[in-house]
Chains A and B, each alone.
Chain A
Amino acid sequence: MTVKDLCDKLSLTVLTCGDRLNRETNGCYIGDLLSWVMGRAREDAAWITVMGNINSVAVAKLADLSCIILCEKASLDEDARAQADANGIVILSGEDPAYELALKLYEASKS
C-alpha cells in the first residue's frame, strides 16, 4: 500500500510533501513518547500521534517511518512543517482519534 492509498482510505489531509505520496507504507505505530516510537516502530510504519513538533520530524526521518498521521486534528508547528517539507517527510492530518484511524488502516491494508 502507498501513502496515497492510505490517505484516500482514511480521508486524511496532506500537510507536507504532497509529492512523496508514492512511498510504500506498512503497519502502524501509535504513540507520543519519542523514544518509545524509536524503540518500537518498524521501518515503513505509519506513525499516529498528536506530536506535531520538529522533533517528531527528526524521529520519522531517522527511523524510516513512512509518514506521520496527526490524529484528532492535532496541530503542526510551523517550523516542523518547514522541516518536513525540506526533509521529505509526509505529514497527514485526520479528524478521527488514533483508535479509529488504526482500525481503518487495518481494513485498508487487507483490501
Chain B
Amino acid sequence: MQPIIKTYVIPGDDFTHAGEASGKVKAMLKQLGYDSDAVRRIAIAMYEAEINMVIHADGGKATVEIHPDRVELTLQDSGPGIEDVELAMQEGYSTAPDEVRALGFGAGMGLPNIKKYTDDMKIESIVGTGTKIYMLVKAGKTS
C-alpha cells in the first residue's frame, strides 16, 4: 500500500500557530482509525519537534508518512544546528531564552519526550546548516 504523505510549513517565532501541524496530523490519524494511544504519542512527539523549530530554529518543514503499520515523521530546519546532540538529549538541558521560558517552555524535556514516545528517533544536525529529526511510531488501525 502507498503511504499517505503530507508536508507542513512551520513558521518561525510564531507561538499562535505553533501546534497547528501536529493538531492536523492528530485529527487525520484519528479519522483514519489509528489506535488512540499511538495517535497521542505521535501528536506529542511531533509538537515537541515542531515547537523546537519555532523556538530554536526560526521554523522549518515537517513531512509525515502514514503507513498501515507505522507513522514516520521528519522535521527539518535551516536553523543554527545543535552542537552536542548527546547533551541536548539529556533531561533538563535547555538553551531556551527567558522570554520563551516565561511561556512554559525551556524545561529541557522536549527531546527526551520524543525519545520516550517514539519507537525510533534520529537527529542529524550540522552547526550553521540545520537540524533534521526523524521519528517512527508503530501504529495500527483499531477498526
Seen from chain A, the residues whose Cβ lies within 8 Å of a Cβ on chain B are 32-36, 38-39, 43, 51, 53-56, 58-59, 61-64, 79, 87
Contact = CB atoms under 8 A, between A and B. Distances in A.
B55 to A, nearest CB: 10
Contact of B112 (A39, A43, A63, A64): A39
A64 B110 contact: no
Give the secondary structure class of A's interface: helix
13 contacts: A38-B48, A38-B113, A39-B113, A39-B116, A43-B40, A53-B104, A55-B105, A58-B19, A58-B47, A61-B23, A62-B40, A62-B47, A79-B16
Interface string B8-24: 00000001101100110
Q: How large is the interface on B (under 10, 10 to 19, 20 to 34, 35 or more residues)?
A: 20 to 34
Contacts of B112: 39
Among B16, B26, B112, the one with the most A-chain Cβ atoms within 10 Å of its Cβ is B16
Interface of B: 15-16, 18-19, 22-23, 26, 36-37, 40, 43-44, 47-48, 51, 103-110, 112-113, 116
B17 to A, nearest CB: 9
B89 to A, nearest CB: 13
Contacts, number: 69
Nearest to A50: B104
Given A33-B109, A62-B23, A38 B47 contact: yes
Contacts of B23: 58, 61-62, 87
Given A35-B48, A35-B113, A64-B40, A55 B19 contact: yes
Contacts of A79: 16
B104 A62 contact: no
